[in-house]
Amino acid sequence: MFKLAHISDVHLGPLPDLSFRELASKRITGFVNWHRNRARHLFPGTLESLMDDIEKRDPDHLAITGDLVNLASSLEIQAVTEWLTEAGDPEDISVVPGNHDAYVPGAYEKTARAWFPFMRGDSGPAGWMKDHHCFPYIRVRGSVALIGCSTAVATPPFAASGYFGPRQARATVNLLRAAGEAGLFRVVMIHHPPIRGATSMHKRMIGIRRFAATISSGGAELVIHGHTHLNTVYWLRGHAAPVPVVGIASASQGPGGSKPVAAYNLFSIDGEPGAWRLTRERFALGADAKTVSLAETTQFHA
């Protein structure tokens, strides 16, 4: 049995001091939003409690589906790099970026360079690719294929949309088909929910229909995402059966906010092609903001 833990929207805090030059951009709106809203409900201690509980359950792998930073400043990117290194070996942690990781032009390239060891496929290059096309990537761990896709793009102020384009769609289909032919359980990691209506228009993923066609054509057993800070389950049409699309609350969300408290999913994957068994256990932060306990169990495949 393979156990996969999933967290998202880390939004590692606190927000560092930023220079006037760094704030003279879209970051100024995010800076104001942080101090008015996020700072009151996103707590570093919450993330620590979640990570401690994950460690106790000893998963085989950890997937992080984006928004590791807030405004993608250089200090934030460095802090996340150090946090990832402390969290575990790059071979055991797979990351895909979110819109906050590409908050302003140039940020995506910085985060991808800094976190590349956690986003490099098994057969990927040793260094950064000049054409920036490190997505999608594939990592095979036991009987599981982890396929990372990116929807991270810089957007104008008051927008948080993502983009899944034709090149990435074609490459993802090829990876999914190859993994299916190899008899692997395919997990697709993406930040934005690839579901129409799952979030507001200014936060949506552009290319939702394209992604649905990718899953239908290439085949998959599970899609995991973040972005909405909600615990959700949707479905997409797959090759042989509907594919669960599972979202998770922010890993730093403390109690008292409008969104659910911090949580993580622990997926147990067992079986074989045509007879996979997938169980999700969702563990959530308690009212004391310290303890973490089982909140829900779902059997997706019998």
86-89 contact pairs (CB < 8 A, 24+): 87/51, 87/62, 88/62
Q: What is the pLDDT along the chain (302 residues), one digit of tens a residue?
A: 999 999 999 999 755 555 545 555 555 555 445 445 554 555 568 999 999 999 999 999 999 999 999 888 888 999 999 999 999 999 999 999 999 999 888 889 999 999 999 999 997 554 444 444 579 999 999 999 999 999 999 887 777 899 999 999 999 999 999 999 999 999 999 999 999 999 999 899 999 999 999 999 999 999 999 999 999 999 999 988 899 999 999 999 988 888 999 999 999 999 999 899 999 999 999 988 789 999 999 999 74
CB neighbours (10 Å) of residue 189? 28
Alpha-carbon gap, residue 288 to 18, rounded angstroms: 32
Residue 133 confidence (pLDDT): 54
Sheet holding 292-301, edge to edge: 93-96, 61-65, 2-7, 263-270, 277-285, 292-301
Structure token digits, residue 100: 């906050």
Residue 31 confidence (pLDDT): 42
How many residues are present in the chain? 302
Answer for the pair 184, 176: CB distance below 8 angstroms, yes or no.
no
The residue whose two tokens read 């190899």 is 182
Residue 172 confidence (pLDDT): 97
Show the domains of the chain with their CATH numbers.
2-301 (3.60.21.10)
Answer for the pair 100, 11: CB distance below 8 angstroms, yes or no.
yes
Helix (H) or strand (E) holding 49: helix 44-57
Residue 130 confidence (pLDDT): 41
Sheet holding 222-225, edge to edge: 137-141, 144-148, 185-189, 222-225, 243-247, 232-236
Alpha-carbon gap, residue 248 to 67, rounded angstroms: 13
Using only the alpha carbons of the chain, give its radius of gyration.
18
| Residue 61 amino acid letter | H
The pTM is what? 0.90
Residue 301 confidence (pLDDT): 73
Alpha-carbon gap, residue 165 to 151, rounded angstroms: 8
CB neighbours (10 Å) of residue 33? 14
Residue 26 confidence (pLDDT): 54
- 288: CB partners within 8 A, 6+ apart: none
Residue 42 confidence (pLDDT): 57
Structure token digits, residue 155: 């957007």
Is the Cα dihedral 175, 176, 178, 179 positive or negative?
Answer: positive
